[in-house]
């Protein structure tokens, strides 16, 4: 922007998901009390020939622009609008949000304090606008209530308040934070908030700057908003596995367990479990494994036959049932709880969508492996990394379930496998068993397990661990999981010859 330009503010308005409010949203910004020459509107459309784009083109003022980004996703529209902006203060909003008449004027007063990147706490680098829902129906009101309950549950997570229904940020701060993570869907707004805060920038709440938000009044609108958000979560978790902002999102079983829904791995696990049941019928030593193997058969069979379609379909059915209960169930509180369950299942379905499309990470080839540092898609039947003791600075192990599987990329050789495991259960009661590419491996007399070259197969190797189940809750602990052993490391030692 030229130093002589009077433009102080750019309103970025993507023309997507307008929920019938698109023209009114634009009109609310055109009708601001702020002098027209002080701000511009950059509308961005993925469909230049669409009805809304044509109407917006006819309504824009001379200083405003309509940018075309054919086929772009929502966050790509925001990114394109920010790149086209001429002002130093960017305001991101939605096509189903109506601004109060003095919103732009009040916002500029909030950002009147001097600010530089060198002294980021001197003034706000960004601000979250306040908002109330547009009058609609009881279903739409649940959205506001769920959002507020979430914020009350996490009062210290300032990034949770960042929402593009109305979010202002200085261009220099936005660029320093890397703009939007466009591949992560609407999770990108939270990612931007996290990055701004980690740079030491201030994000203010602006109760005096208000927009009215068109909440989802229909089930299909909610699904259209939340399922892509879940896909964005999956995309971000994929990046987190490389060590990037690992603490941003909490562990998610649907993401951690995705390897277990890969059909080829599920078929492999199914064969081993059936073999365990067959051996348990003949040998007493295998009976500690039988009950856990039998319980896992239905899910294992579903994964072997349907792959990721099975959990996605289940999440969709659960979401549909909960959405129905949220609309027509008895009692407002029960309907609200059903709405919360539906929202969770829609997000879960989105995460599973991404898991199915992304595939699994490459299997590791190292001879020393620390499960706590391995990406989730390399393992199946493992819980999230955790600390063995309170004194550990970082996660040091992963607990297995009674049956767990690891993908490996080792070259054929005669090897000794050393498993570094621990559990409150004495070793004689763990009934620890190891399978290499589906074949049971006997323990070596001097420790470890011998892996023979002839048991290797071309490409990826599969290591399975089975043990008697351990339930902490039965010992009075507040842990409902069914555990196997805590695995700290796997070491593969090449044997001579």
Residue 227 within a domain: no
Cα(322)–Cα(309) distance, rounded to whole angstroms? 20
Count of other CB atoms within 10 angstroms of residue 48: 14
- Please report where in the chains the tokens 């549950």 appear, as a residue: 153
Is the pLDDT score of 222 beyond 70?
Answer: yes
Residue 476 inside a domain? The answer is yes
State whether 113 and 199 are in the same domain.
yes
Residue 43 has pLDDT above 80, yes or no: yes
Residues 195, 55 within the same domain: yes
Residues 63 and 178 in one domain: yes
Q: Do 309 and 277 belong to one domain?
A: yes
Question: Which pLDDT value is given to residue 38?
Answer: 96
Q: 368 - beta bridge partners?
A: 491
Does some domain include residue 237?
A: no
Q: What is the pLDDT of residue 249?
A: 83
What average pLDDT does range 343-357 have in this prediction?
Answer: 94
Residues 179 and 276 in one domain: no
| Model pLDDT for residues 247-268, shown as the tens digit of each residue | 788 878 888 889 999 999 999 9
DSSP 8-state code for residue 466: E
**Is residue 74 one of the residues assigned to a domain?**
yes
Q: Report d(CA 31, CA 23) in Å as an integer.
A: 12
User: Does 295 fall in a domain?
Assistant: yes
Domain that holds residue 402: 368-494
Residues 296 and 314 grouped into a single domain: yes
Is residue 118's pLDDT more than 90?
no
| Within a domain: 66 | yes
CB contact set of 161 (below 8 Å; sequence gap of 6+): 128, 151, 193, 203, 205
Q: Are residues 176 and 110 in the same domain?
A: yes
Residues 387 and 290 occupy one common structural domain? no
Torsion angle of the four alpha carbons 372, 373, 375, 380, in this order, in degrees rounded to the nearest 10:
-30
The token pair at 287 is 């009976």
Secondary structure class of 488 (helix, strand, coil):
strand
Give residue-wise pLDDT tens across range 434-460. 999 999 998 887 789 999 999 999 999
Does residue 380 share a domain with residue 335?
A: no
Q: Can you tell me the distance from the alpha carbon of 273 to that of 399, in angstroms, rounded to the nearest whole number? A: 19
How many distinct structural domains can be found in the chain? Answer: 3
Name the DSSP class of 325. Answer: H
What residues form DSSP beta bridges with 463?
Answer: 406, 436
Among the residue ranges 29-38, 316-325, 386-395, 456-465, the one predicted with the least confidence is: 386-395
CA dihedral 431, 437, 438, 443 (to 10 degrees): -30
- Indicate if 351 and 373 belong to the same structural domain: no
Same domain, 404 and 322: no
Answer with the one of 325, 358, 391 that is the final residue of a domain: 358
Q: What is the mean pLDDT of residues 227-244?
A: 87
pLDDT reported for residue 2: 44
Tell me the C-alpha distance between 410 and 336, whole Å. 51
For residue 180, tell me if it sits in a domain. Answer: yes
Q: Which of 187, 215, 243 corresponds to the end of one domain? A: 215
Inform me whether the pLDDT recorded for 3 exceeds 50: no
What pTM was estimated for this model as a whole?
A: 0.88
Contact 128, 163 (CB under 8 A): yes
Judge whether 230 lies within some domain: no
Q: Is the pLDDT assigned to residue 68 strictly greater than 70?
A: yes
Domain CATH number, residue 480: 2.60.120
Nearest-angstrom CA–CA distance, 389 and 401: 19
Looking at 333, 358, 383, the residue that finishes a domain is 358
Q: What is the mean pLDDT of the chain?
A: 92
228 touches 221 (CB < 8 A): no
Same domain, 425 and 473: yes
């Amino acid at each position: 922007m030229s130093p002589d330009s009077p433009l102080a503010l750019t309103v970025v308005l993507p023309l997507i998901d307008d929920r019938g409010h698109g023209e009114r949203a634009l009109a609310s910004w055109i009708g601001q009390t702020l002098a027209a020459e002080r701000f511009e509107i950059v509308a961005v459309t993925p469909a230049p020939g669409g009805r809304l784009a044509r109407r917006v083109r006819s309504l824009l003022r001379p200083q405003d622009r309509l940018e075309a980004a054919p086929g772009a996703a929502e966050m790509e529209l925001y990114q394109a609008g920010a790149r086209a902006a001429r002002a130093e203060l960017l305001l991101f909003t939605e096509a189903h949000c109506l601004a109060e008449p003095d919103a732009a004027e009040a916002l500029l007063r909030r950002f009147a304090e001097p600010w530089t990147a060198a002294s980021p706490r001197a003034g706000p680098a960004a601000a979250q606008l306040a908002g109330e829902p547009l009058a609609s129906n009881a279903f739409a009101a649940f959205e506001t209530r769920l959002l507020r309950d979430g914020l009350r549950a996490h009062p210290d997570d300032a990034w949770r308040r960042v929402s593009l229904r109305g979010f202002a940020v200085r261009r220099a701060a936005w660029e320093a934070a890397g703009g939007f993570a466009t591949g992560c869907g609407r999770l990108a707004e939270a990612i931007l908030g996290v990055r701004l805060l980690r740079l030491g920038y201030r994000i203010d709440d602006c109760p005096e700057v208000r927009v009215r938000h068109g909440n989802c009044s229909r089930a299909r609108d909610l699904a259209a908003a939340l399922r892509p958000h879940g896909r964005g979560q999956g995309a971000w978790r994929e990046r987190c596995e490389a060590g990037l902002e690992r603490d941003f999102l909490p562990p998610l079983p649907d993401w951690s367990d995705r390897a277990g829904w890969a059909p080829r791995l599920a078929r492999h696990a199914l064969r081993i479990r059936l073999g365990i049941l067959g051996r348990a019928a003949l040998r007493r030593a295998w009976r500690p494994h039988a009950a856990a193997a039998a319980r896992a058969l239905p899910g294992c069979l579903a994964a072997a036959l349907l792959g990721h379609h099975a959990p996605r379909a289940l999440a969709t059915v659960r979401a549909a049932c909960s959405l129905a209960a949220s609309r027509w169930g008895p009692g407002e509180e029960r309907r609200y709880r059903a709405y919360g369950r539906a929202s969770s299942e829609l997000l879960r379905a989105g995460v599973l969508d991404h898991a199915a499309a992304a595939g699994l990470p490459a299997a590791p080839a190292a001879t020393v492996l620390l499960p706590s540092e391995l990406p989730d898609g390399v393992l199946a039947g493992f819980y999230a990394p955790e600390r063995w003791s309170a004194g550990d600075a970082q996660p040091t192990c992963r607990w297995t379930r009674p049956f767990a599987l690891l993908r490996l990329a080792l070259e054929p050789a005669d090897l000794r496998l050393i498993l570094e495991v621990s559990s409150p259960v004495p070793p004689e009661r763990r009934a620890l068993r190891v399978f290499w590419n589906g074949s049971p491996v006997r323990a070596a007399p001097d420790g470890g397990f011998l892996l023979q070259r002839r048991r290797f197969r071309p490409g990826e190797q599969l290591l399975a661990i089975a043990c008697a189940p351990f339930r902490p809750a039965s010992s009075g602990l507040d842990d409902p999981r069914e555990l196997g052993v805590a695995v700290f490391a796997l070491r593969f030692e090449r044997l001579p010859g």
